[in-house]
A and B are shown apart, each in its own frame.
Chain A
Amino acid sequence: MTTNAADEETAEGRVYTVGGADWDEVVASAAEESERSGEEHIVVNMGPQHPSTHGVLRLILTLDGETVTELRPVIGYLHTGIEKNMEFRTWTQGVTFITRADYLMPLFNETAYCLAVERLLGIEDRIPDRAQVIRVLMMELNRISSHLTGIGPFGLELGATTVFLYGIREREKVLDLFELITGLRMNHAYIRPGGVIQDLPSGAIEKIREFLEIMPRQLSEIHKLFDSSPAFTARTKGIAYLDLTGCMALGVTGPMLRSTGLPWDLRKSKPYCGYETYEFDVVTNETCDAYGRYLLRMDEIDQSLRIIGQCLDRLSGRRPANDPVMIDDAKIGWPARLALGPDGLGPAPDHIAHIMGQSMEALIHHFKLVTEGFRVPAGQAYAAIESPRGELACHVVSDGGTRPYRVHVRDPSFCNLQSLPALAEGGMLADVISSVASIDPVIGGVDR
Chain B
Amino acid sequence: MTESNQSGPPNDEEADGAQAPNPAEIAGRERLSEQVVRTGMFGVSGTPDTSGYGGLQVRRPPPLSSPRPYGGYFDDVADALSDSLEQAGLSFGDAIERVVADRGELTFHVRREHLPRVARQIRDDPALAFELFSGVSGVHYPLDEGRELHAVYHVVSITHNRRLRLEVSAPDSDPHIPSLVDVYPSADWHERETWDFFGIVFDGHPALTRIEMPDDWKGHPQRKDYPLGGIPVEYRGATIPPPDERRAYE
CB–CB A380/B152 < 8 A: yes
- Shortest C-beta distance, A63 to chain B (Å), equals 21
Q: Which of A248, A251, A410 has the most CB of B within 10 A?
A: A251
**Known A76-B214, A84-B228, A380-B152; contact A251-B184, beta-carbon cutoff 8 A:** yes
User: 0/1 per residue, B193-219, Cβ < 8 Å to A?
Assistant: 100000000000000001111100000
Residues of chain B lying within 8 A (CB to CB) of residue A372: 42, 249-250
Asked whether, in the complex, the Cβ of A381 is within 8 Å of the Cβ of B103, the reply is yes
Cβ-neighbour of A447 out of B163, B212, B221 (below 8 A): B212
Instruction: Render A363-386 as a binary contact track against B, CB cut-off 8 A, 1 for contact.
Output: 000001001100000111110100
Q: Which of A35-43, A45-53, A136-144, A394-402 contacts B (4 or more CB under 8 A)?
A: A394-402
Residue from the list B61, B154, B156 in contact with A400, Cβ < 8 A: B61
- Name which residue of chain B comes closest to A419, CB basis: B186
Interface locus among B25-33, B66-74, B133-141 = B133-141
Interface size class of A (residues with CB under 8 A): 35 or more
Chain B residues lying within 8 Å of A85, measured Cβ to Cβ, are 228, 243
**Complex interface: stretch among A146-154, A161-169, A262-270:** A262-270
Q: Which residues of A contact B42 (CB under 8 A)?
A: 372
Closest to B140 in A: A406
Residues 324-383 of A at the B interface (beta carbon under 8 Å): 368, 371-372, 378-382
Cβ of A83 < 8 Å from any Cβ of B?
yes
CA distance A124 to B114 in the complex (A): 35
Most chain A CB neighbours (cut-off 10 Å) among B137, B152, B243 = B137
> Of A249, A378, A393, A401, which one neighbours B154 at CB under 8 angstroms?
A393
Contact partner of A405 (CB less than 8 A), chosen from B58, B138, B139, is: B139
- The answer to whether B7 has its CB under 8 Å from any CB of chain A is no
- The chain B residue sitting closest to A408, CB to CB, is B137
Interface centre among A75, A249, A264, A406 (most CB of B within 10 A): A406
Q: CB-CB contacts of B178-200 with A at 8 A, as 1s and 0s?
A: 00000011101110010000000
Known interface pairs A85-B228, A269-B161, A399-B37; A119-B103 also in contact (CB < 8 Å)? yes
Whole-angstrom CA separation of A399 from B193 in the bound complex: 23
User: A237 CA to B211 CA in the complex, in Å?
Assistant: 32
User: A394's closest neighbor in chain B, by CB?
Assistant: B137
For A448, the chain B residues whose CB sits under 8 A away are 212
**Which chain B residues border A81 with CB–CB below 8 Å?**
221, 229
Q: B132-156: which have CB < 8 Å to A?
A: 132-135, 137-140, 152, 154, 156
- B-contacting residues, A215-254, CB 8 Å: 248-253
Give the distance to chain B from A12, nearest Cβ to Cβ, in Å: 16
Instruction: Confirm or deny: B120 has a beta carbon within 8 angstroms of a beta carbon on chain A.
Output: no
Can you name the residue of chain B whose Cβ is closest to the Cβ of A396?
A: B137
Residue in chain B with minimal CB distance to A268: B161
Query: Is B165 part of the contact surface with A, judged by Cβ < 8 Å?
Result: yes
Contact B163 A382 (CB under 8 A): yes
Contact of A395 (CB < 8 Å), options: B38, B60, B154: B154
A401/B135 in contact, CB under 8 A: no
Choose among A79, A251, A397, A402 the residue that contacts B212 (Cβ–Cβ < 8 A). A79
For the complex, give the distance between the alpha carbons of A378 and B61 in Å.
7
Partner of B131, one of A248, A269, A418: A248
Nearest to B42 among chain A residues (CB) is: A372
- In the assembled complex, A278 has its CB within 8 A of some CB on chain B: no
CB contact between B134 and one of A84, A249, A393, A405 (< 8 Å): that residue: A393
Docked CA distance A98–B243 (Å):
17
Instruction: For A84, list chain B residues within 8 Å (CB).
Output: 221-222, 228
- Report how far A402 CA is from B64 CA in the complex, Å: 21
Contacting pair A395 B152 (CB below 8 A) = yes
Q: From residue 95 to 133 of chain B, which have CB atoms closer than 8 A to chain A?
A: 102-105, 107, 131-133
Task: Name the residue on B nearest A405 (C-beta).
Answer: B139
Quick one: given A89-B243, A395-B154, are A379 and B102 in contact (CB under 8 Å)? yes
Which residue of chain B is the closest to A371 with respect to CB atoms?
B249
Question: In the complex, what residues of B have CB within 8 A of residue A395's CB?
Answer: 135, 137, 152, 154
- Name the residue in A378, A382, A448 with the highest tally of chain B Cβ atoms < 10 Å from its Cβ: A382
Let me know if A249 and B37 touch, CB within 8 A. no
Cβ 8 A contact of A406, one of B139, B163, B186: B139
B4-51 CB contacts (< 8 Å) to partner A: 37-38, 42
For residue B244, CB closer than 8 A to chain A, the reply is yes
Are the CB atoms of A251 and B134 closer together than 8 Å? yes
**Can you list 13 contacts pairing A with B, beta carbon distance less than 8 Å?**
A79-B213, A119-B103, A119-B104, A248-B158, A380-B105, A384-B163, A391-B156, A395-B154, A397-B139, A405-B139, A410-B134, A415-B190, A418-B188
Cβ-closest 6 pairs across A and B: A251-B186, A408-B137, A372-B249, A76-B212, A79-B212, A410-B135
Interface residues, chain A, CB within 8 Å of chain B? 75-76, 79, 81, 83-85, 87-89, 119-120, 122, 248-253, 262, 264, 269-270, 368, 371-372, 378-382, 384, 391, 393, 395, 397, 399-403, 405-406, 408, 410, 414-415, 418, 447-448
B residues with a Cβ closer than 8 A to A are 37-38, 42, 58, 60-61, 64, 102-105, 107, 131-135, 137-140, 152, 154, 156, 158, 161, 163, 165, 184-186, 188-190, 193, 210-214, 221-222, 228-229, 243-244, 249-250
